[in-house]
Structure 1
Amino acid sequence: MSSYRDLLRTPGVARIIAAQLTARFPFGMLSLAFLLHIEQVTGSYGAAGLVLAATSIGQAIAGPLTSRWMGVWGIRKVLLLTLAVCAVSVTTIALVTMTVPAYMAVGFVAGLSTPPVQPAVRTIYPKLVTSQQLTPLFSLDASAQEIIWVLGPVVTTFVSTQVGTVWGIALAAVIMVVGCLWFISSPEVGRVRIPRSRRKLGQVLKRPPVLLATVVGFLLIGACSAVEAGVVATFGHDGLEAGIVLAIFSVGSLAGGLALGHTPIGPYALARRIFIVFAGLAVASLFLNAWWLSVTLFVAGIGIAPALAVLFAIVSASVKFSDTAEAYGWVGTGQLIGAAMGSAAAGFLIDGSGAVGAFWVAGVFALFGFVIPWIGHRWHPDLRGRDASPIPDTEPINTQPS
């Protein structure tokens, strides 16, 4: 814990962590808020899953593009533009009653314009701390972001059930605007200039660790999205049980991230951490009551933040600084496609088999999330005794006399 205290005393670190967490907080609210609102309007979890899938697909397409634009136009300009469009789209879903295809279209635009705060802050971090502090910073960040998933579902469930689903979405939109403006105005954002990448879009995926992180992120977040849908379907709209169980799921992740943040990252680190997630989810569907799900999802959560920290670290250590934003964009795209697939599959199985179907989906995603990095461990950088700093950008130097 002392190393975390030292990190937070580093100039700018506490401020940028707080600002980016606030900016990203609405995205711990919007999936559940959209799910509750669209299901209430249409009466179908399948329809709600389709809207969530459309939103996530929009985010997936935008991830690498908007991240790469930050190297062309600058971080602040890209964030301001995307924030304006996203805020309008989210508000439209809350205030305008539409058909399911129309909801999907507006959700797609909202996803397409999601401010790329996460790729931006992952790219800024190596410029704030020493190389030895970078891996602990990724762990701290992965743990701290669980605050989003602890408080977000609770706040959304309370506001949506006690006040109204429209107000649940509207509150998320307000927090998004305030948080993004705080992050954009932070001095650290203005001081970092992302170099323009010389590679074609998508070339960074030829780096095996980036591809591994993208695929595993897809599976991990797909499992989490299915769990979220399953918990909401289990407890319905009449109480706070859904929000509380999801919060406990995230508390497990927070605890795991802080406890395992200093564990050396070897070639099997990712597989071992995701096995914890699979173990918890494998037994979660046996009894769909609040106590059982709280215990099993807490256990599953212990592996999530540590796994995400490994994903961030192996990407950072494997690409040039000019490619880091795009690389994190692709990793985010993988996670968002996973969220789309997990939500959609869970929604249809809930309609067909009941809430337990969502937990079956989550277990399958987590199983593949464990198997793939175990088989592909040779693609996983061994960071034991190494730092996770990006590869420096270099240019040819003319040594011929002029």
Structure 2
Amino acid sequence: MSSATYRTLLRTPGAAAFFLTAAVGRVGIAMTSLGIVWLVHGQTDSYADAGLVTGGCAVAEALAGPQLARLIDRFGQTRALPPALLAHAASVATLLTLVADGSPSWLMTAGGVLVGATVPQLSALSAARWSALLRGDRAAGLPTAFALESLSNALGYLVGPALVSTIGAGGHPALGTVLAAVLVVVGGLAFAAQYRTAPPVCAFAERTRARGSLLRPGFAVLVGHNLAIGVYFGAMQVSVTAFAVEHGAPDAAAPLFAVSSCSGLLAGWVYGLRRWRAEARVQLAAGTAGLALGSLLLFAAGSPLGLGFVMVLTGAAVPPILVLFSVLAESAAHRAVLTQAFTWLNSASAAGAAGAAAVSGRAVDSSGAPGGFAAATTAAATMAVLAATGIRARYGPKQQLARHEPTRLQGQPRDENTMTGSRPPI
């Protein structure tokens, strides 16, 4: 298929508007954590304090994200998102004030927790909109839409950290945090204003029954997959940096990560162009097996150049896996709790990355970079085993519950994207 597949999706009425506004907010989200590092370190000259505040932000985001998503599923994106964005703006202002006043580290950490707890999960909200927009005979376009989402996330995490680092290195550490908040709030409010493409809100009884889909084995395994890939990301960040330092080329770490990211962008783009015949669960088994095998080559790398070649291979395997996680989550979870489903996957990945950073750091201290590579390879092998054994029992056949259309609440605006008709019993 040609790249017109992406253009066709974005030409769907309302799609380009919510996708682009969410992309703006994603850049701000990608800047938030690193912006806090620059902000706190610029005031305290302590990386320990900066890490503590940033860690509090990350943990709060992982824990509070699903709860915020639950409110969004209950009240709808257009009603729940603006108050959350205002709370995020107030939290960032509080943190800026605490840092500027030279507050104790525990108080600044509390400010970081507030910032993380109010970060909107725009990627989950955007994915939920694609699911609502591409229904029925258009559902075949979902993998391409999720590939587009993956590309947007990857670009956001390329542009955002580079932008905030440039601002911080220029002697304006607080400006990066301010800009991040502005992008999140402005992009998020513009996203919420696209009410025509917002997923319909389900009645309370239907949402209550639908929560059971988040407790089923299929979805639990997907959470396990995301936890493992978070471990992989966290371990690679530490071990690749350690590898570059051990080989006397600390400046090579940034180009290595850039090469991996560019490889992933290209692979994600190509993956979304093609309509694959194999089922998603089979593709996931193949993709995770490829990542596990590619990770074994990390131990054979003898120089930064050699490691770069390996990271091109492993980096290319990651985006299709992330797309398949979204595809399988969309079919495993009921539409009434779909935002929560996507957010739980994001939280699991964040938790895995945070835990792996600490564990692999100790492994690197004791065994060098190979110790960190061992943690990353173990995580990739775990995903391959989960995907290869008992696939049908966990992912398929698709839960009928997940494909039912939600009931439109009385008084909810109707648009051309809302399907009508009777809903089969759950």
1:348-363 residue pairs with structure 2 within 5 A?
Answer: 358-363=372-377
Do the aligned partners of 1:49 and 1:347 also contact (CA within 8 Å) in 2? no
Q: Aligned partners of 2:78 and 2:250: how far apart in 1?
A: 40
Counterpart check, 1:274 vs 2:283: no
1:84–1:69: structure 2 CA closer, same or farther, 3 Å change rule?
Answer: same
Deviation at 1:290, TM superposition (A): 5.2
Q: Secondary structure, in 3 states, of the residue corresponding to 1:155?
A: helix
Match of 1:325 among 329, 339, 344: 339
Q: Which residue number corresponds to residue 255 of structure 1? A: 266
Q: Secondary structure, in 3 states, of the residue corresponding to 1:29?
A: helix
1:184–1:296: structure 2 CA closer, same or farther, 3 Å change rule?
Answer: same
Do the aligned partners of 1:278 and 1:367 also contact (CA within 8 Å) in 2? yes
Q: Aligned partners of 2:309 and 2:226: how far apart in 1?
A: 24
Deviation at 1:34, TM superposition (A): 3.8
Match of 1:143 among 137, 151, 166: 151
Which amino acid counterpart does residue 72 of structure 2 have in structure 1? M
1:161–1:104: structure 2 CA closer, same or farther, 3 Å change rule?
Answer: same
Q: Aligned partners of 1:176 and 1:232: how far apart in 2?
A: 29
Match of 1:315 among 329, 339, 363: 329
Deviation per residue, 1:175-194 (Å, 9 max, x gap): 212221221222445x5322
Q: Aligned partners of 1:309 and 1:98: how far apart in 2?
A: 42
Q: Secondary structure, in 3 states, of the residue corresponding to 2:120?
A: coil
Deviation at 1:11, TM superposition (A): 1.9
Match of 1:127 among 132, 146, 156: 132
Do the aligned partners of 1:21 and 1:145 also contact (CA within 8 Å) in 2? yes
1:66-145 residue pairs with structure 2 within 5 A?
Answer: 66-93=68-95, 96=99, 97-129=102-134, 130-145=138-153
Deviation at 1:388, TM superposition (A): 12
Q: Aligned partners of 1:15 and 1:351: how far apart in 2?
A: 48
Match of 2:223 among 209, 214, 217: 214
Deviates more, 1:350-359 or 1:365-374: 350-359
Deviates more, 1:260-269 or 1:298-307: 260-269
Which amino acid counterpart does residue 21 of structure 2 have in structure 1? A
Deviation at 1:310, TM superposition (A): 0.8
Deviation at 1:240, TM superposition (A): 7.5
Which amino acid counterpart does residue 391 of structure 1 have in structure 2? H
1:234–1:325: structure 2 CA closer, same or farther, 3 Å change rule?
Answer: same
Q: Aligned partners of 2:50 and 2:242: how far apart in 1?
A: 12
Q: Which residue number corresponds to residue 194 of structure 2? A: 186
Q: Aligned partners of 1:101 and 1:357: how far apart in 2?
A: 32
Do the aligned partners of 2:232 and 2:377 also contact (CA within 8 Å) in 1? yes
Deviation per residue, 1:122-145 (Å, 9 max, x gap): 221123232222222122222332
Q: Which residue number corresponds to residue 380 of structure 1? A: 395
Q: Which residue number corresponds to residue 29 of structure 2? A: 27
Deviation per residue, 1:189-248 (Å, 9 max, x gap): 5x5322144327963332222112111111112322333355566779x99755543333
User: Which runs of no fewer than 5 residues in structure 2 stay unpaired?
Assistant: 408-421
Bigger-Rg structure (1/2): 2
Deviation at 1:152, TM superposition (A): 2.4
Corresponding residue pairs, total: 393
1:171–1:54: structure 2 CA closer, same or farther, 3 Å change rule?
Answer: same
Q: Aligned partners of 1:36 and 1:335: how far apart in 2?
A: 24
Do the aligned partners of 1:48 and 1:347 also contact (CA within 8 Å) in 2? no
Q: Which residue number corresponds to residue 202 of structure 2? A: 195
Deviates more, 1:211-220 or 1:364-373: 364-373
Q: Aligned partners of 2:297 and 2:214: how far apart in 1?
A: 35
Q: Secondary structure, in 3 states, of the residue corresponding to 2:343?
A: helix
1:30–1:171: structure 2 CA closer, same or farther, 3 Å change rule?
Answer: same
Q: Aligned partners of 2:178 and 2:297: how far apart in 1?
A: 36
1:354–1:77: structure 2 CA closer, same or farther, 3 Å change rule?
Answer: farther
User: Which runs of no fewer than 5 residues in structure 1 stay unpaired?
Assistant: none
Deviation per residue, 1:330-368 (Å, 9 max, x gap): 222212222321333345556776666554443333332
Q: Which residue number corresponds to residue 341 of structure 1? A: 355
Deviation at 1:268, TM superposition (A): 3.1
Deviates more, 1:226-235 or 1:100-109: 226-235
Which amino acid counterpart does residue 207 of structure 2 have in structure 1? R
Which amino acid counterpart does residue 200 of structure 2 have in structure 1? R
Counterpart check, 1:61 vs 2:73: no
Q: Secondary structure, in 3 states, of the residue corresponding to 1:267?
A: helix
Which amino acid counterpart does residue 162 of structure 2 have in structure 1? V
Do the aligned partners of 1:52 and 1:343 also contact (CA within 8 Å) in 2? no
1:355–1:246: structure 2 CA closer, same or farther, 3 Å change rule?
Answer: same
Counterpart check, 1:245 vs 2:247: no
Deviates more, 1:159-168 or 1:57-66: 159-168
Q: Which residue number corresponds to residue 224 of structure 1? A: 233
Do the aligned partners of 2:280 and 2:328 also contact (CA within 8 Å) in 1? no
Q: Secondary structure, in 3 states, of the residue corresponding to 1:303?
A: helix
1:397–1:370: structure 2 CA closer, same or farther, 3 Å change rule?
Answer: closer
Identity of aligned residues (%): 23
Q: Aligned partners of 2:298 and 2:54: how far apart in 1?
A: 24
Counterpart check, 1:168 vs 2:176: yes
Do the aligned partners of 1:257 and 1:306 also contact (CA within 8 Å) in 2? yes
Which amino acid counterpart does residue 194 of structure 1 have in structure 2? V
Do the aligned partners of 2:18 and 2:194 also contact (CA within 8 Å) in 1? yes
Instruction: Name the TM-score, length of structure 1 as normaliser.
Output: 0.82
Deviation at 1:120, TM superposition (A): 1.9
Do the aligned partners of 2:280 and 2:324 also contact (CA within 8 Å) in 1? no
Which amino acid counterpart does residue 16 of structure 2 have in structure 1? A
Do the aligned partners of 2:222 and 2:329 also contact (CA within 8 Å) in 1? yes
Instruction: Name the TM-score, length of structure 2 as normaliser.
Output: 0.78
Deviates more, 1:107-116 or 1:271-280: 271-280
Q: Aligned partners of 2:367 and 2:170: how far apart in 1?
A: 29
